[in-house]
Amino acid sequence: MSAGPPPAIVAVAFTGASGMPYGLRLVESLLAAGTTVWLLYSQVAQIVARQEMDLELPSRPAEVEAALSERFGAAPGQLRVFGREEWFAPLASGSNPPDAMVVCPCTMGTLASIAAGLSQNLIERAADVAIKEGRRLVLVPRETPFSAIHLENMLKLARLGVVILPPSPGFYTHPQSVGDMVDFVVARVLDQIHVPHTLMRRWGDGGGA
């Protein structure tokens, strides 16, 4: 995919894999860039957020929308949060898809369901829409090691144009904190969806990547 204009609307989905700091930092960075974010989250993501970050993601999307909008200083209407079964949400239809979608972190179960086209909930349906409408879809699978089943599902999606972006921070930038390593991965995601950022220096620009 060639570079294009920054997306106006990006859908972000949190699923139940480890790696919630990546997802939250991604939402924060998108909002800071002026992008409208449509957020989805699974039930297990609520557990992971609590365990990894002491963050409560209430079951009511409106409460999550209010809390994260305040936390990240989002403009009115810039962050919208949808429920898992909210089938009248705009991203459930190819007539009104976001410009790009990122599942971060992405469980192997979610990845497998997307690869099979199951569309059993709004996260899977939104990803299915992104694929069929030719929109950028980035999956950030957090698992190790990968089984042959995982790899086959990822290969199937990659052949359809889906970006498979495991959260593998590099160390040539000399990270000084966990936050630096999180930013390394989030910077890679933002590059894939053409959102400008200053999370890290690029290779050849005075060192770093």
Residue 15 assigned ligand-binding role: no
Residue 107 assigned ligand-binding role: yes
Residue 172 assigned ligand-binding role: yes
Residue 110 assigned ligand-binding role: yes
Residue 42 assigned ligand-binding role: yes
Residue 19 assigned ligand-binding role: no
Torsion (CA) 152, 156, 159, 161 in degrees, nearest 10 = -120
DSSP three-state, residue 26: helix
Residue 187 assigned ligand-binding role: no
Sign of CA dihedral 40, 24, 99, 193: negative
* End-to-end Cα spacing for the chain: 21
Nearest to 139 by CA among 47, 17, 3: 17
Residue 117 assigned ligand-binding role: no
Residues 6+ apart with CB under 8 A from 78: 31, 35, 36, 37, 69
| Alpha helices (runs of H) in 33-177, residue ranges in sequence order | 43-53, 61-72, 108-116, 122-132, 148-159
d(CA 76, CA 122): 24
d(CA 37, CA 75): 11
Residue 20 assigned ligand-binding role: no
Positions at the binding site for FMN: 16-18, 42, 107-110, 142
Positions at the binding site: 16-18, 42, 107-110, 142, 172, 188
Positions at the binding site for dimethylallyl phosphate: 172, 188
